[in-house]
Amino acid sequence: MNFFGKRGKEDELEQTIATSLGLPEEQQENLEHDVSLLEDEDGSRNQRLQKVAEREVLSAAEDSVKRLHVIKLGRCPVCGEHLYQHMSASICEACGWHKYDTPKQGKVRVHLRNNSGEVVGARAYLLKSGDCLVMHDDVVIAKIPANAYDWVEYVWRDEEVAQRRVQITGKLKVPCAWCGAETEPNKDGFHMVHVAFGSSQERYCFCSDECLEIFRKTYPARVHRNCYERSCNDCNLCVKRYGDEADEIRTLLKDYIRMKKD
């Protein structure tokens, strides 16, 4: 498709594309200037560049999807080690890779060095250079050099944290490990257990007490006899895949169940 050929409808197309990209004003001016330099009679040059750009975007999208699938499977996209996955963060203790969410309703405080104050905004971006960009009302209000601040504080509202817990538990459509029926955390009889049949910790959910008991009798734990009842925090006999208390997910489910019952 020729977006930048002869004038006419192309002007409307350019405006539509630019709007969908949401470029800042200065970058939009640079784009329009570069496009004017590349214009030719039949628009073939721009068509070729458009196709190159589309291929690059598709390639980047494939890499992104692959990386997200690796994370979803509980592995680090950099070194392949197990991730510690929390409600709003994934952390690799082996290589230091991490990814975390920031509050949408709260705010961020950038604490300046030598107790010289703080910069408050809606969001902060930590750049590769170490500099920090602070945003408020969708505009940059401060660029803080790396040597000018000590740490960044993310202020979460209790309401937003509670809402996230409900949203996440609502997405936990996990089948029962014994009968295959969909489990419901807010129902009596729901169980989530962690047991090691080999060298690593595994997670299983059950829809009822009966399914759990049948599973336990059919598949006794091999690492130690009381693996079904023993807290994972007190055990060092297997490789932990879910961290302390299942990286908050077990606590998350318990809070959700308690909230629904209250």
- Phi-psi category of residue 117: left, alpha or beta, with phi > 0 → left and psi -120 to 50 → alpha: left
Domain extent listing, the chain: 9-72, 107-155, 159-261
Burial grade of 211 (CB within 10 A; 0-12, 13-18, 19 or more)? buried
Which of helix, strand or coil describes residue 107?
strand
Indicate the pLDDT class of residue 172, thresholds 50, 70 and 90: low
pTM metric for this prediction? 0.56
Give pLDDT, residue 199: 80
Instruction: Find the range with the poorest average confidence among 123-132, 166-175, 197-206.
Output: 166-175
**Integer Cα distance of 144 and 140 in angstroms:** 11
What tens digit of pLDDT does each residue of 4-31 get? 444 444 444 444 444 445 677 788 888 7
Give pLDDT, residue 214: 93
CA angle 153, 159, 162 (to 5 degrees): 100
Instruction: Find the range with the poorest average confidence among 21-30, 106-115, 181-190.
Output: 21-30
Distance of CA 188 to the CA centre of its chain: 30
User: Which residues are 134's β-sheet partners?
Assistant: 124, 142
Instruction: Find the range with the poorest average confidence among 66-80, 115-129, 158-172, 181-195.
Output: 158-172
- CA separation, residue 71 to residues 78, 94, 98, 112 (Å): 10, 14, 10, 34
Residue bearing tokens 């090691």: 196
Distance of CA 29 to the CA centre of its chain: 33
The average confidence (pLDDT) of the chain is 80
Instruction: Name the residue with higher pLDDT: 217 or 16.
Output: 217
Question: Are 172 and 188 within 8 A, CB to CB?
Answer: no
Query: What CATH number labels 107-155?
Result: 2.30.30
Those residues with Cβ within 8 angstroms of residue 3's Cβ, 6 or more apart along the chain or in another chain:
10, 13, 14, 17, 46, 50
Give pLDDT, residue 18: 44
Q: Order across the sheet with 89-91: list the strands.
A: 84-85, 89-91, 98-100
* pLDDT over threshold 80, residue 205: yes
Q: Which two tokens stand for residue 217?
A: 């009798």
Give pLDDT, residue 248: 44
* pLDDT over threshold 60, residue 134: yes
> Average pLDDT of 138-159?
95
